[in-house]
A and B are shown apart, each in its own frame.
Chain A
Amino acid sequence: MFPTPIEKSSRSWQLTYQALLPAALVLWLLPLIAVAVFSIKPDSDFTTGNYWGLPTSFEFVENYGKVFFASDMPRYLLNSVLITVPTMLGCVVLSSMTGFALGVYKFRSNLWIFFMFVAGNFVPFQILMVPVRDLTLDMGLYNTKAGLVFFHIAFQTGFCTLFMRNFIRALPFDLIEVARVEGVAEWRIFWYVVLPLMKPALAAMAVLIFTFIWNDFFWAIVLTQGAESQPVTAGITSFNAQYRAAYHLMSAGSIVAALPPVAMFFLMQKHFIAGLTLGAVK
Chain B
Amino acid sequence: MSSSTKAATQSSWYKRNEIAVTPWLFLLPGVAMFLLYVIFPIFQSINVSFYEWDGLGEAEWVGLGNYEELYWDDAFYVSLRNNLIWLVLYLLAIPAGLFIALFLNQTVSGIRLYKSLFFFPFVISQVVVGLVFTWFYDPTFGLLNQFLGVFGINPINVLGDERYVTYGIIAAGIWPQTAYCMILYLTGLNAVDPEQIEAARLDGAKGWRMLWHIIIPQLKPATFIAFVVTIIGALRSFDLISIMTNGGPFGESRVLSFYMFEVALSEYGFRMGYGASIAVVLFLIMLCFIAYFLYSMYQDDKGGR
Contacts and interface: CB of A to CB of B under 8 A. Distances in A.
Contact of B305 (A38, A129, A169, A261): A169
Contact of B125 (A173, A222, A258): A258
B44 A131 contact: yes
B45 A127 contact: yes
Interface in B252-296: 256-257, 260-261, 264-265, 272, 275-276, 278-280, 282-283, 286, 289-290, 293-294
Given A126-B257, A186-B18, A97 B27 contact: yes
Contacts of B131: 35, 236, 240, 250, 254
A161 to B, nearest CB: 7
B286 A123 contact: yes
Interface in A62-89: none
Chain A CB within 10 Å, residue with most, of B107, B131, B222, B304: B131
Contacts of A60: none
B128 A280 contact: no
Contacts of B118: 25, 28
A217 B290 contact: no
Contact of A113 (B31, B37, B102, B206): B31
B88 interface: no
Residues of B in contact with A, size category: 35 or more
A281 B190 contact: yes
Given A98-B27, A123-B42, A169-B305, A3 B232 contact: no
Contacts of B242: 217, 221
A186 B24 CA distance: 12
A241 interface: no
A276 B261 contact: no
Given A276-B180, A282-B221, A31 B143 contact: yes
A173 B305 contact: yes
A153 interface: yes
B156 interface: no
A21 B228 CA distance: 29
A49 B138 CA distance: 13
A227 B7 CA distance: 53
Interface in A212-268: 214-215, 217-218, 221-222, 233, 236-237, 240, 247, 250-251, 254-255, 257-258, 261-262, 264-266
Contact of A127 (B22, B33, B41, B191): B41
Contacts of A192: none
A28 to B, nearest CB: 6
Contact of B121 (A32, A236, A254): A32
Interface string A1-40: 1111111000000000110010011001111101100100
A31 B136 contact: yes
A26 B283 CA distance: 39
Contacts of B105: 1-3
A35 to B, nearest CB: 5
Interface in B87-122: 102-103, 105-108, 111, 114, 116-121
Nearest to A97: B26
Contacts of A122: 228, 232, 286, 289-290, 293
Contacts of B18: 185-186
A257 B27 CA distance: 36
Contacts of A146: none
Interface in A89-144: 94-95, 97-98, 100-102, 104-105, 107, 110-111, 113, 115-120, 122-135
A279 interface: yes
B40 A32 contact: no
B22 A101 contact: yes
B215 A2 contact: yes
Contacts of A101: 22-24, 26-27
A10 B44 CA distance: 64
Interface of A: 1-7, 17-18, 21, 24-25, 28-32, 34-35, 38, 49, 51-52, 94-95, 97-98, 100-102, 104-105, 107, 110-111, 113, 115-120, 122-135, 150-151, 153-155, 157-158, 161, 169, 173, 185-187, 190, 211, 214-215, 217-218, 221-222, 233, 236-237, 240, 247, 250-251, 254-255, 257-258, 261-262, 264-266, 269, 273, 276-277, 279-282
Given A101-B23, A123-B38, A281-B188, 4 more contacts: A1-B194, A34-B143, A123-B286, A281-B191
19 contacts: A2-B192, A2-B211, A29-B117, A30-B136, A34-B136, A52-B143, A94-B30, A105-B19, A105-B22, A125-B236, A126-B275, A126-B282, A129-B275, A134-B55, A173-B305, A185-B18, A215-B125, A233-B127, A273-B119
Interface of B: 18-20, 22-24, 26-27, 29-31, 33-34, 36-42, 44-45, 48, 55, 102-103, 105-108, 111, 114, 116-121, 123-128, 131-133, 135-136, 141, 143, 146, 175, 180, 183-184, 187-192, 194, 197, 206, 210-211, 214-215, 221-222, 225, 228, 232, 235-236, 238-239, 242-243, 256-257, 260-261, 264-265, 272, 275-276, 278-280, 282-283, 286, 289-290, 293-294, 297-298, 301, 304-305
